[in-house]
Amino acid sequence: AWLPDAVAARGLWARRSRFSRGALSVLVAEVFLPALCNTIHDKDPV
């Protein structure tokens, strides 16, 4: 479990993507946090 206890929960999911162009490459790791998604979804539009 590499996430802090405050955000670790069942139902989390993550993905890694690697992008390359010639000699350059970058690895992107994304973790989707339900609490953050719910907060964004429930917020009134500006």
Q: Using CA atoms, how far apart are residues 46 and 39, in angstroms rounded to an integer?
A: 14
Mean pLDDT value across residues 35-41: 80
Torsion-angle region of 22 (φ positive above 0: left; ψ -120 to 50: alpha; else: beta): left
Instruction: Give the 3-state secondary structure of residue 39.
Output: helix
3 vs 19, residue with greater confidence: 19
User: Where in the chain are the domains?
Assistant: 1-46
Q: What is the pLDDT of residues 4-35, one digit of tens each?
A: 787 777 777 888 999 999 999 999 998 887 77
With 80 as the cut, is the pLDDT of residue 43 above it?
no
Instruction: Enumerate the β-bridge partners of residue 16.
Output: 29
22 vs 43, residue with greater confidence: 22
> What pLDDT does residue 23 have?
97
